[in-house]
Structure 1
Amino acid sequence: MKRNLAITRVFDLLYKCVLPLNKEDVFANKQNGQWRKYGAKEVIDIVNQVSLGLLQLGVKKDDKIAIISNNRPEWNFVELGIQQLGAVSVPMYPTITMEDYQYIFADAGVKFVFVSDQSLLSKAKDATASLAEVEGIYTFDNIKGAKHWSEVTDLAKGQDIAQLQPYMDAVQSDDLLTLIYTSGTTGKPKGVMLTHRNIIANVEGLIEGKHLELEETDRALSFLPLCHIYERTDVYVYMRYGVSTYYAESMETIADNLKEIKPHVFATVPRLLEKVYDKIVAKGYELTGVKKSLFFWALNLGLKYDPMADMGWWYNTQLAIARKLIFSKWQEALGGNIKLVASGSAALQPRLARIFWAAGIPILEGYGLTETSPVISSSIITNFRVGCVGSVLPNVSVKIAEDGEILVKGPSIMKGYYNKPEATQEVIDSEGWFHTGDIGEFVEGQFLKITDRKKEIFKTSGGKYVAPQLLENKLKESILIEQAIVVGEGQKFPSALLVPEFNALKEWCTKHEIEYSSNEQIIKNPKVLEKFDADVKHLMNNVAKYEQVKKVVLIPKLFSIEGGELTPTLKLKRKVIHSKYSQQIESMYL
């Protein structure tokens, strides 16, 4: 890979990185049961057709165009076509509320909308019904009575491609590239203004710092939403390296797609890694005899692993056996070629990092925000610390404020919040430092560690501050706990709402001859409650007394996006959960 390329706009990646390699599978997705691959020249031809078609529709520099879709090559084609005109993409989560759609369309002043399917078309139509500024809605799927996106590319027929050049030349690195509305857990979403320079700086910082070392022959599987800057910047990194991007059919087909594509890299969030781990452990419980003993022997061995330490001859010998007998199956399940897995968006449990590294599957944890394009720090495969979010990118500066807040400065920091100068001034101070709202520290002088969200830390009635995220990750170390939220603002002690890992709980109940008829029934069983109390007490052994979770209530249903308890990036909506389960929370303090 050529390192010193003069890339100043994101669409330069097409001509300086993608085209010279001339790969046959720059992007790919499943169509009618087969993988449809798009080669370099075809990708560029389609992108140019999108640009020319949009020109014919009257799109001008700085016009806003919304994209609401699952991950698919059309997403990239339209987004890159928008870029080449100096227009601005407004990607939106398919799962947000009608109120948020209406607010974003109006706030951004969206001119055209591209959606993937019938349900999103209906949502977009309803949300734009009263907005005269929206001139048209186009679909990626063929839908009767709807305008197909090919109607835009058809407008390019007979047009001279040379007419695009002045528009492309007019795009500057500091021009607005995209408006990304943060999902947020409270209030109206804010439009984060990111420029070409912001994102290219992030891509180059990851490469310069050797945070993601990939080859042009590698393949990536993409399934996190492209509307989030985390996955989108990753795809730009793949284009920079020449890595092929294959889009998973859906979140439900990831396991099958991994085996088909055999990727070398993918990005994920801790919640999905937790699910993978829980499924693996559930299968382990189904084993019997020697196989079951071997499985849990390997698991316990992996939980002690430190990827950067010499664990000694005896441990290393055992690990080699465990990898051959047990962990090789984990690698096969991920396709057998994984070089690294990037984890971000939330804190990763240290035990998960240890166990996957022990299995020969390096999990590189990173940290960032939409406002920082997004990466601030990321792990390096040769210099990794469990429990940390890696080293700061070489073109980013970080300092820890007196109150522990992480402050960031650098070329990847957003321009500001769209139409919200006051909100911008609240997070970017007069010296240009962006205030992340996260509390952290440096370990060994170089590894950044996040301890909690500044706004999520609460104070007990005894005046002690409690960081809930750390305790929640500690609680989830129990094989019986899938989700946890720690509460206790203004109370004598912290408590927690816990969602059991019901497969593991069923296994435990079978082993202890406890009847299991339903989730609702089992969480009231005295022996089950006794078991959870004992597990929590054990997990709190090494936690400061004032931070220890003293009481818990079990919840029969997972927190979810659909239920309103999780954001689209699978973070807890604490206020929503507090409101929804107020009675259960109050019961722990009676």
Structure 2
Amino acid sequence: MEVKRLFDLIPYQISTYDKDVCLAKKENGQWKTFSSRDLKRIVDNLSLAFLSGGIKSKDKVAIISNNCPEWNFVDLALQQIGAVSVPMYPTITSEDYDYIFNHAEVKMIFVGDQEIYDKASKVAGDRRILSFEKLEGVDFWEDFLKTGEGGDLQELENSKNAVQESDLFTIIYTSGTTGRPKGVMLKHSNVMSNMVAIEKIWTIPPGTSRVISFLPLCHIYERAASFAYLFAGYSVYYAESLETLGENIKEVKPHMFNTVPRLLEKIYDKIVAKGYELTGIKKKLFFWALELGHKYDPNVDLGGWYNWQLKMANKIIFSKWREALGGEIQQINSGASALQPRLLRVFWAAEIKICEGYGLTETSPVITASICTHEDMRIGYVGKVIEGVEVKIAEDGEILAKGPNIMMGYYKEPEMTAEVIKDGWFHTGDIGVLDGEYLKITDRKKEMFKTSGGKYIAPQVMENKFKESALIEQLMVVGENRKFPSAIIVPSFEGLRDYCKHKGIAYSNDSEMIEKPEILEKFQREIDGLNKYFGKWEQIKKFKLLPNVWQVDSGELTPTMKLKRKVIKEKYQKEIEDLYAA
């Protein structure tokens, strides 16, 4: 059957795969599963409940919840009646909710749990709120679902038939590194085109594969993937939380999942920390394998002796890494920010294929993606331009994209839309280079700055490199219009404790430790060792260690874990000024 609108994926999956497990979640210690036919029944009844409840075409409904099948049910049910979903991060503030509820003219709100309800209800006004969990005094979504049972199926068919592929189906408010978030309007065909292109290059077989989902569905990255999973007939298991992710992965034994670099960095750092705890021959073997991994390149044959050693390393050391990921992983997709090349090398060496992609909410989201084969993988690049999309590099180095995946525009913001879409080309704000079909990202256009000597600094490239240190959790390069670049650094306190234990240094507390001369000297050695990768004008001359981790809740990070540079600069203005004091 022809799939033109995203909700067409439901009958398509039934006719093509008819899955026993389409979606699954952990409930009371057991995996509760929903088949393809369960999905259709629930979504149809929910659509009818919306119609009988007064929600009509073009009305806006907010979804604020962690990942669960109910999220998908509401999303797809709204699509079938031409209503518009407004997904929101559970982690943002009541003030953000208030702004989006009003700006998007939200009519109804779905929340996941008590904590989200408490935040949303403060600013919901007279909007109806329903919850995916049973909460006292709050309408339960299953009771609402029942109001659609036995409804007029012909009315539903009429509603579905009225929806066109060119119709708006969602408004996604970008996380906003500066100012208020903007509402990105996406139509069915935006995501459909992206979904078809991506599904074609995935290397795991359709129909029989399992994926685990833990990145937020409210972000376009995991949202678009959820539709591609439906299209490919994958069984989707939602992790309970990031805290239980390791356990859930071992239970599900996924063939694929999506992630962000920060999570892979944390996994790698934990693995290395465990390596330091080993003794004798086990420790030597661990770091021998790690050193082999750091030299690996999927495109290059490093010779018989290296290949034999790597084979042994995979049997002795790396096999345990694969077991920790369920033992059946075939592909991991990384996006949202840059991934350290050394991590790609070592994971590929361990036969764990991680593939980078690139895109934005405004591009639905994928512009480029890596194909998970040794022949196609290029370390340091974010893959090839996907089918149907065009990319060119502007004179100033900015990446421009054109194609069916480009957004309709920003909701109620025609001037802002005109600033980023010119002659059909979307201006990404990222700087990069094209090498044939492969794209390399070098920095964010707005984040590059000049020193007082007129030298350009690309902070993202530097920050990514310095975070290779096991002692550095977060780092921001500063120095615009100054004589030299400096850095404010949040240490990896777990890594710092391991270092102190290894060196026999008594550990008091985080705030005291970062002031100790021997710790500052260690960080200086770390900085000096990584400075060598940069030109003299780029090298970090001074740094300041900070005692508090930057978080979404405290305002330094966006929900997608990007640095809010303006906020951080304002918050640590004194510390930055001290770095440049005479």
User: SS at 1:303's partner residue?
Assistant: helix
| Aligned-partner residue type, residue 28 of structure 2 | N
Whole-angstrom distance in 1 between the partners of 2:420 and 2:101? 24
- 1:508 deviates by 2.5
Instruction: Check conservation: 2:92, 2:553, Cα contact below 8 A.
Output: no
Which portions of structure 1, spanning 4 or more consecutive aligned residues, are displaced by more than 6 angstroms?
A: none
Q: Distance in 1 between matches of 2:17 and 2:361?
A: 30
Correspondence for 2:121 among 115, 118, 125? 125
CA distance in 1 between counterparts of 2:231 and 2:30 reads 26
How many Å apart are 1:157 and its aligned residue?
2.5
Q: Which residue among 276, 295, 298 is the counterpart of 2:289? A: 298
| Alignment partners' CA distance in 2, 1:482 and 1:331 | 25
Matched with 2:191 is: 199
The answer to whether the Cα contact below 8 Å between 1:493 and 1:550 also exists between their aligned partners in 2 is yes
CA distance, structure 2, for counterparts of residue 542 and residue 70 of structure 1: 40
**How many Å separate the matches in 1 of 2:555 and 2:392?**
35
Q: Which residue of 2 aligns with 1:93?
A: 89
Partner of 1:8: 4
Aligned to 1:49: 45
Q: CA deviation at 1:106?
A: 0.6
Structure 1 residue 577: deviation in Å? 1.1
Provide the residue aligned with 1:426 in structure 2: 419
Contact 1:19–1:40 (CA under 8 A) maintained in structure 2? no
In structure 1, the residue matched to 2:351 is 360
Q: Contact between 1:43 and 1:77, CA under 8 Å: does it hold in 2?
A: yes
Deviation at 1:403, TM superposition (A): 0.3
Query: Partners of 1:158 and 1:530 in 2: how far apart?
Result: 72
Q: In structure 1, the residue corresponding to 2:561 is in which secondary structure? A: coil
Tell me if the contact between 2:13 and 2:19 (Cα under 8 Å) persists in the aligned partners.
Answer: no
Change in 2 beyond 3 A, CA 1:520/1:20? same
Alpha-carbon distance, 1:162 to partner: 2.8
Aligned mate of 1:534, from 489, 509, 525: 525
1:331 Cα deviation from its structure 2 partner: 0.4
* 1:180 lines up with 2:172 in the alignment: yes
Q: How does 1:216-295 map to 2 (within 5 A)?
A: 216-295=207-286
Q: CA deviation at 1:514?
A: 2.3
Aligned letter for 1:33?
G
Question: Percent identical across equivalent pairs?
Answer: 56
The alignment status of 1:342 with 2:301, answered yes or no, reads no
One-letter identity of the residue aligned with 1:61: S
Provide Cα deviations, 1:130-180, integer angstroms capped at 9, x if missing partner: xx5x3x111110112110112221112322323211111111011001000
Separation (CA, whole Å) in 2 of partners of 1:459 and 1:213 = 45
How far 1:511 moved relative to its partner? 3.3
Q: Which residue of 2 aligns with 1:143?
A: 135
**Deviations 1:282-309 (CA, angstroms, capped at 9, x unpaired):** 1111111111111111111111110121
Q: Is the 8 A contact 1:206 1:212 kept in 2?
A: no
SS of corresponding position for 2:440: strand
| Residue ranges of structure 1 left out of the alignment (5+ in a row) | none
C-alpha offsets along residues 351-403 of structure 1, whole Å, 9 cap, x if unaligned?
Answer: 11111111111110000000000000010112011111000101100000000
Q: How big is the shift at 1:212?
A: 5.2
Give the equivalent residue in structure 2 for 1:328: 319
Q: Rate the CA distance shift 1:20–1:394 in 2: closer, same or farther, 3 A.
A: closer
Once the two structures are overlaid, the 10-residue window that deviates more, 513-522 or 169-178, is 513-522
Matched, 1:501 2:492: yes
Paired residues in the alignment total 579
Q: 1:381 & 1:269 partners in 2: Cα distance?
A: 17
Alpha-carbon shift at residue 211 of structure 1 (Å): 4.5
Secondary structure of the structure 2 residue equivalent to 1:572: coil
Counterparts of 1:18 and 1:355, CA distance in 2? 40
Equivalent-residue separation in structure 2 for 1:120 and 1:511 (angstroms): 42
State the match for 2:458 in structure 1: 467
Given candidates 550, 556, 575, the residue that maps to 1:559 is 550
Other-structure match for 1:543: 534
Show CA shifts across 1:396-427 (max 9, x none).
Answer: 00000000000000000000000000010010
Q: AA paired with 1:481?
A: I
> Partners of 1:121 and 1:498 in 2: how far apart?
35
In structure 2, the residue matched to 1:447 is 438
For 1:384, the equivalent position in structure 2 comes to 377
Hey, what's the Cα distance between the residues in 2 that align with 1:104 and 1:164?
29
Q: Secondary structure at the match of 1:252?
A: coil
Structure 2: 5+ residue runs without aligned partners? none
Alignment of 1:301-312 (within 5 A): 301-312=292-303
